[in-house]
A and B are shown apart, each in its own frame.
Chain A
Amino acid sequence: MKTALKIAWRFLTHAKGQSILIAVGIAVGVSVQVFIGSLIAGLQAELVDNAIGRSSQITVTSAQRGELIDGYQAIVSSIEQAQPDALYVSPVVDASGFLRAGDGSDFPILLRGLNIRQADQIYRFSESLVSGTLPGDGEVLIGVDLAREASVADTVTLATPRGSTKEASVSGVFDLGVASLNERWIVSNLAFAQDMFGYAGQATAIEMQLRDPFQADLIAPGLAGILPDTLKVTDWKTQNAQLLSGLNGQSVSSLMIQVFVLLSVVLAIASVLAISVLQKSRQLGILKAMGIKNRDASLVFLFEGFFLGIAGAALGVLLGLGLSYAFTKFALNPDGTPVVSLLIDPNFITISAVIAVVSATLASLIPARRSARLDPMEVIRNG
């Protein structure tokens, strides 16, 4: 075993050029894998974050359309107790109404009465503030587009569809990056919305995010089980099947690319090592004449594959990370942010490296078998 190790190492270091060439070949494969994997993962994370990061991932509403939820405090605490993966569980009062502008014209709005502290974790208003602060009692936060169109100053007059009005002072202006929200949303605390629409002690929905958003469709039925039948639980996955199938397609194509890269790496190693058995057949013949066992003779090539795999994987990970780094530095949006922010996942990189080492070793099985079968007489007879 040790002898085979020493011989393998010497064979590799003696033919430095060849060994480096194979290692670089493996490294290119591994680096493509690391790069593509990080790119796709980054792309997906960004997509998922954009689509669902700033919204409720599981929403509890009344089973009856238009009905309200009574006793939401108890429901919130029972969800928090039953499902530790549920984050920022918060009651919401959503109601449509109007903003009455100074010139008397009405703008349609969605008044969102939120538990500001909790909801901020979901919608990240504090990161989206263009000016001002989060709303306190009797205050509202207004979307940037609505504020501009309605020429909103320090106070606004809000009206319900039934005609009752309520004054509020504007604490700030937000820009969530989505025009339909910026044009329609007005955010207040829960009490303000309850008071305006007469929903005392009631909420229209309970919203939450999840530790792992992709568990939404598994967690939602569990919640439905512990809540009364009068409530309905919906999750983002069921509502966004199209986005999910897109993500899935991306994952599958990324996997395909990685499989083919791996396959070409394996074939390259197998063929180069097979040639190397022919190159070394004279040495193998001598070693066999001197009594090296067939098992050790094949171990020589397994070790060669293993060493090449390790060198290639290490080099490939560095190369792949370098490539990824260069990509985030040079492929930029006009505002200087990277086109795609890569997701460097140490687990994924470790798995890629391990797969490269294992497949390099497996690829050397073929030459190893040839080496075991080589008859020393061939070498001795033919000189």
Chain B
Amino acid sequence: MDNIISLRHIEKTYGSEVKTQVLFDISLDIQARSFTSIIGASGSGKSTLLNIISTLDRPTSGQVYIDGTQTSDMSKAALAKLRNEMIGFVFQFHYLLPEFTALENVLMPARIRDGRVTKETMDRARELMKLMGIEKVANNNAAKMSGGQQQRTSIARALINNPKIILADEPTGNLDSESTEVVYDIMRDINERYQTTFLVITHDRRIAQKADRIVEIKDGRIYLDLPNNVKQLA
């Protein structure tokens, strides 16, 4: 199987004195180039799961494989490199750096990777921003854009290093329904155009149904896993 992400028996417990178990024995495979939605009530553990997949958080037990590599033994520096090159992040709060312009924000992961901006990177940034419809605000300060523009900038940023995986946590949580629609269409478009794997957390079932596969998390366990045929069910 062509699995870009594999989780094996992931458990996560918070706290040292009062222990709260958030995830229970989760095993999950995500196929390369797929578009998967993770849904669930707030507090269900879906964000924790995404953070563990992203290597920002470590599981209490269990293994995470990214593109076939076990991540639990890797050093912090190696994980940073993995995140930089393999994974693009889109958060609910756009998390742009307010000190930089939209274009500079988009270029930041490439700058971290290469230490400089090559002409190819610059061309790619411009192309991505055009694709997102934000080429006109490229030189605006990140803080001086609308919510939708900021989120589209952060998607362009997630894509700049041509990562194999995009992890998005409620990417449209702060947007109105029109912007939400636009952002999702863009993500699907990129999924097809660049063959990027998408793993998207959302609480919006209407949006989730646009995915190839829906995974529902409930009380820290996989409650529902509907691959491929969701659209027909809907």
- Name A's B-contacting residues (CB within 8 A): 1-3, 6-7, 10-11, 14, 282-283, 285-296, 376-377, 380-381, 383
Contacts and interface: CB of A to CB of B under 8 A. Distances in A.
A263 B79 CA distance: 39
A289 B99 CA distance: 17
Contacts of B111: 2-3, 6
Contacts of B81: 291, 293
Contact of B56 (A7, A10, A380): A380
Given A283-B98, A383-B93, 9 more contacts: A3-B112, A10-B99, A288-B80, A291-B81, A295-B77, A377-B51, A377-B56, A377-B57, A383-B92
Nearest to B87: A291
A381 B14 CA distance: 13
A57 B185 CA distance: 92
A291 B57 contact: no
Nearest 3 CB-CB pairings of A with B: A291-B84, A14-B99, A291-B83
Interface of B: 47, 51, 54, 56-57, 76-77, 80-85, 89, 91-93, 95, 97-100, 108-109, 111-113, 115-116, 157
B13 to A, nearest CB: 15
A286 B95 contact: yes
Contact of B97 (A283, A288, A294, A380): A283
A377 B58 CA distance: 10
Contacts of A287: 97, 108, 112
A290 B108 CA distance: 8
A75 B185 CA distance: 103
A7 B124 CA distance: 21
A109 to B, nearest CB: 81
A371 B194 CA distance: 35
Contacts, number: 69
A379 to B, nearest CB: 8
A376 B87 CA distance: 15
A293 B77 contact: yes
5 contacts: A14-B99, A286-B97, A287-B112, A294-B77, A295-B77
Given A3-B112, A10-B100, A294 B56 contact: no
A382 to B, nearest CB: 10
Nearest to A10: B99
Q: Is the interface of A mostly helix, strand, loop or mixed?
A: helix
Nearest to B157: A290
Nearest to A379: B95
B64 to A, nearest CB: 15
Most buried by B among A3, A285, A287: A3
B23 to A, nearest CB: 15
A294 B95 CA distance: 19
Contact of B85 (A282, A291, A381): A291
A11 B99 CA distance: 6
A328 B55 CA distance: 65
A304 to B, nearest CB: 12
B56 A292 contact: no
B97 A376 contact: no
B174 to A, nearest CB: 10
Contacts of B97: 283, 286-287
Contact of A376 (B47, B56, B93): B56
B81 to A, nearest CB: 6
A334 to B, nearest CB: 57
B76 A289 contact: no
Given A1-B115, A2-B116, A6-B111, A290 B89 contact: yes
A310 B178 CA distance: 50
A289 B56 contact: yes
Given A10-B100, A283-B99, A377-B56, A290 B115 contact: no
Contacts of A282: 95
